[in-house]
Amino acid sequence: MSHNDTLVIAGRHFNSRLMVGTGKYASNEETARALEASGAEIITVAVRRVNLDRSKESLLDYIDLKKYTLLPNTAGCYTADDAVRTCLLAREAGMSDFVKLEVLGNEKTLFPDNEELLKAAKILIKEGFTVLPYTSDDPIVCKKLEDLGCAAVMPLGAPIGSGLGIRNPYNIKIILDTVKVPVIVDAGVGTASDAAIAMELGCHGVLMNTAIAGAKNPIAMAEAMNLAVRAGRLAYLAGRIPRKLYATASSPLEGLLE
Amino acid sequence: MQVTINGELRDIATQTMQQLLESLGIDPRKVAVERNAVILPKAEYMTTPVVAGDRIEIVHFVGGG
């Protein structure tokens, strides 16, 4: 693959188009090994209260912060105010302006509350954050997020943790036609082919957590996702053949035995 | 004096935020602190006294998607 095919977010260049979450692993060691196998450079983390009575061992003790860009999320926030508060704390803890903004609307579906999302994005951009919002696969909302100044849009492929894959590839296509900022499919990927499909559609990246952490062998799945994202990107750049209903022979018709 | 730390009522001696974090075994570089709903910049831990009735939130990064 061409060396200059990098993912550019807010002027920063990344070689890997796979972003991974760090939740749900069996141990910090396993997280670190899966991150390594995934080849990801951007990894998401959550902001939570320190447990005062437990060991102060931290995930960050296992992760080389020179190698990875931390993308704190606002997972579990249901209002713009909660999400903004979480981002302000994340910036103080991590000294970075990158945030994955999610504002949820429902506990069962974990679908975004786009009204609150837009409200939070507006405040955070004013506060100087680089905002990467998790959103519905809705081209209108994605355009509004871009107009507010978000550095990327991250439409869901399917509900978080569902593993249902890219449920509406046509909407993802329309989003790609609608916005100029990177489009990163966030949530829904179940296996390697789902990630490849997202990339073949022309998405600039894929973000996933459960598909890797929940696999029987997370390290092997991390490598599979690494390859799938690269394969899908390369296939997109290569340009696929058109779909046709009937066959076209691959062998020459000339010189056939009579 | 009594203060609330991460939602728990605790009895502590008079001290600064820096001393409180140290007594809890917390590395100040790895956390963010909110005192009475206002974020406290790291540079001010040394000079900020913890006062009776304070509501303190101490957060850090954990695994998440």
Q: Which of the four pLDDT bands, split at 50, 70 and 90, describes residue A159?
A: very high
Q: Is A198 helix (H, G, I), strand (E, B) or coil?
A: helix
- Residue A3 pLDDT exceeds 70: no
Catalytic residue among A24, A66, A67, A100: A100
- B61 → closest Cβ in A21, A47, A56: A47
Partner-chain residue, chosen from B42, B60, B63, that has the shortest CB–CB distance to A50:
B60
pLDDT tops 60 at residue B26: yes
Which residues touch A114 (CB under 8 Å, ≥6 apart)? Answer: A105, A135, A136, A138, A141
Structure ipTM: 0.95
Q: Please state, in angstroms and rounded to a whole number, the distance separating the CA atoms of residues B56 and A126.
A: 26
Residue A194: Cβ-neighbour burial (10 angstroms; 0-12, 13-18, 19+): buried
B chain contacts of residue A50, beta-carbon cutoff 8 Å: 6, 24, 26, 31, 58-60
B7 to A50: CB separation less than 8 angstroms, yes or no: no
Contacts of A146 (CB under 8 A, 6+ apart): A153, A179, A180, A181
pTM: 0.93
Which residues of A sit within 8 Å Cβ distance of B? 21-25, 28, 31, 44-50, 52, 56, 58-60, 70, 72-73, 75, 88-94, 160-161, 208-210
How many helices and strands in chain B, by DSSP H and E? 1, 5
Q: Are A58 and B25 in contact (CB under 8 A)?
A: no
Chain-centre distance of CA B47, in angstroms? 13
Cα separation, B6 vs A9, whole angstroms: 35
Query: What φ, ψ does residue A140 adopt, rounded to 5°?
Result: -70, -45
Whether the per-residue pLDDT at A2 is higher than 90: the answer is no
Contact B61 A70 (CB under 8 A): yes
What value does the mean pLDDT take over residues A242-255? Answer: 94
Kindly state the average pLDDT of the residues A17-34. 96
Contacts of A88 in chain B (CB under 8 A): 39
In chain B, residues with a C-beta closer than 8 Å to the C-beta of A209 are 64-65
Look at residue A29 and tell me whether its pLDDT is greater than 80. yes
Instruction: Kindly determine whether residue A23 and residue B64, on different chains, have CB atoms separated by under 8 Å.
Output: yes
The model's pLDDT over A176-221, given as tens digits with 9 standing for 90+, comes to: 999 999 999 999 999 999 999 999 999 999 999 999 999 999 999 9
Respond yes or no: is residue A108 known to be catalytic. no
On the question of pLDDT at B13 being above 60, the answer is: yes
Asked whether residue A55 carries a pLDDT value surpassing 80, the answer given is no
Residue of B nearest to A19 (CA): B65
The pLDDT tens digits of the residues spanning A67-94 come to 999 999 999 999 999 999 999 999 999 8
